[in-house]
Structure 1
């Protein structure tokens, strides 16, 4: 699995939170949740996650990058995740460029497809007001980019983190079937 997105959109924090496995402590009164976890370093790649899903065991290798000049273009991923920061409209606009890179580097022949999931990070930073990115807009963009799924979560608070990882695992698991993971009808909202 390859995780792509602009610098600072939350990719490393997302993967670090998954790796730590820590769940936030629900706040009671003024007690803040425990949000401390160690951030993974680029030198730790690939990040390995062993999971059980659909009565089968999978090992997910995730590579995290924000630089098109890094080695990621030589990888052969089964699934690509394009990530953006929900509180930063520029990172959402940058997804089109990442999607074009996926086509250029990984979809070489006619009809050759690689499953792509769009991932909104930093859900806890979504605030009402001018420039807000509503979920309806992100679903529409996921469909325009011909993504196979869309999910969003917050690594800091843990909101929808488990569900997002399950959606990623489901999409990765689909690539092990004869039909593969690319959907015929476009984006499914996960």
Structure 2
């Protein structure tokens, strides 16, 4: 049986942690706990390919970053991940003002396109800066306002919640190849 190819596009401001996230998950299951060394991937090597197998078939997940060698607007993704840096409020604001609008204006199928919000750099959440801190509840609320399907957050550096976030991304990606699609049945799910 042939592999099912699923294209996953990561969008978000520069330096929100997309490359580190992709680099960490590229190390496979042994690196998802955050203990293994991170070898940074190069943008010119895109797409970053991950093979996932479930009981029924194999899936080839092709991850593309915003800094793809091609213009990301030319891609036809099956799943979009809008990423923001938990320690940078501006990246959360840009997610609402820029990135969700880019998705809707760029992809004609955006009504059926599953979208997830991924909060990165969870390890940098600091109680010392009460104005800049973004708690999970606030990230989730913004994700709901954007009417996306799911909200996850993790730290690629420490591995905190990384395995859970990656599993949820994989589960959603796999669902995009079914007749029901990868969109949630209404509302935003937090994981």
TM-score (norm 1): 0.87
Is residue 147 from structure 1 mapped to residue 148 from structure 2 by the alignment? yes
1:10 aligns to what?
A: 17
Q: Deviations over 1:42-76 (max 9, x none)?
A: 10100000012354321100000159x96100000
Indicate the SS of the match to 1:14.
Answer: helix
Shift of 1:159: 1.0
* Alignment coverage as a number of residue pairs: 180
1:26-175 aligned within 5 A: 34=35, 36-53=37-54, 55-65=56-66, 71-96=71-96, 97-107=98-108, 112-128=111-127, 129-130=129-130, 131-175=132-176
C-alpha distance in 2, partners of 1:161/1:24? Answer: 6
RMSD of aligned alpha carbons? 2.1
- Give the gaps of 5 or more residues in structure 2: 1-7
Structure 1 counterpart of 2:31, from 3, 20, 23: 23
- Give the gaps of 5 or more residues in structure 1: 26-32
- Whether the 8 Å CA contact 1:3–1:64 is kept in 2: the answer is yes
Higher Rg: 1
* Aligned CA distance change for structure 1 residues 20 and 93 (closer, same or farther; 3 Å): same
TM-score (norm 2): 0.87
C-alpha distance in 1, partners of 2:22/2:70? Answer: 19
Higher deviation after alignment, 49-58 or 82-91: 49-58
Shift of 1:184: 3.5
* Aligned CA distance change for structure 1 residues 137 and 161 (closer, same or farther; 3 Å): same
Moved segments of 4+, more than 6 Å: none
